[in-house]
Amino acid sequence: MAGRGREGPVHEISVMTDVVATVLREAKARGASRVLKVNLQVGELTFLGEEQMHFAFDVLKMEADHVMDDAEVAIETVRARGSCAACGYTGETAVHEEPEFHFRLPTIDCPKCGQRLELTDGRDLYIRDIVLEVPDDEGGACMDGGGTGGDGDA
Ligand SMILES: [Zn+2]
């Protein structure tokens, strides 16, 4: 048991590497010229630092591709939620601060009956949506009445 509880920014960087890769794949698939914004939902039980994620995103987007030069990331925290098999409670779990450790620990016990909750939310990170700028170079310009032949010359 070495290094328990030591999570440096390495964690955020590896997570954001995946995010940026996914965003780039999506941008290419849609022929986007620029990525404007990436909206993330981050479960509080991931213990990812918001500041570190912003930092990692800014570093990675510069390495990634110019398509992401102006991209911003917005991070929305998702509260941990669970459901209790014992009493039927569903909802948020309580979170208590551990000021000694500068740490927030969600208590995953049912706030009603104290049994252990089955966690349903708060453990994952999702890309909620990506705002892309897609050049408008297809579609349109197809009004009816093209000028192909048909004009007899009397
Ligand atoms: Zn309960």
- Residue-wise pLDDT for 57-76, tens only, equals 999 999 887 899 999 999 99
Asked if 19 contacts 56 with a C-beta cutoff of 8 angstroms, the reply is: no
C-alpha 44 – ligand 1 centre gap (Å):
21
Domain parsing of the chain, residue ranges? 12-133
Q: Which CATH number does 12-133 carry?
A: 3.30.2320.80
Phi/psi of residue 73, nearest 5 degrees: -120, 135
Q: What does the pLDDT read at residue 3?
A: 40
Residues, beta carbon < 5 Å, ion ligand 1: 84, 86-87, 89, 110, 112-113, 115
C-alpha 80 – ligand 1 centre gap (Å):
15
Could you tell me the two tokens for 128? 């909620």
C-alpha 114 – ligand 1 centre gap (Å):
6
| Cβ neighbour number for residue 96 with a 10 Å cutoff | 10
C-alpha 111 – ligand 1 centre gap (Å):
7
C-alpha 138 – ligand 1 centre gap (Å):
56
Taking the whole predicted model, whether its pTM rises above 0.85 is answered as: no
Q: What residue has token string 């049912």?
A: 110
Provide the strand spans (E) within 19-124.
34-43, 72-78, 81-83, 90-92, 94-98, 103-107, 118-121
Q: What does the pLDDT read at residue 154?
A: 47
Q: What does the pLDDT read at residue 149?
A: 44
The tens digit of pLDDT for each residue in 24-47 reads 999 999 999 999 999 999 998 888
CA–CA distances in Å: residue 124 to residues 42, 48, 76, 78:
6, 10, 12, 9
Q: What is the DSSP letter of 114?
A: -
Our separate counts of H helices and E strands in the chain read 2, 8
pLDDT at residue 94 tops 90: no
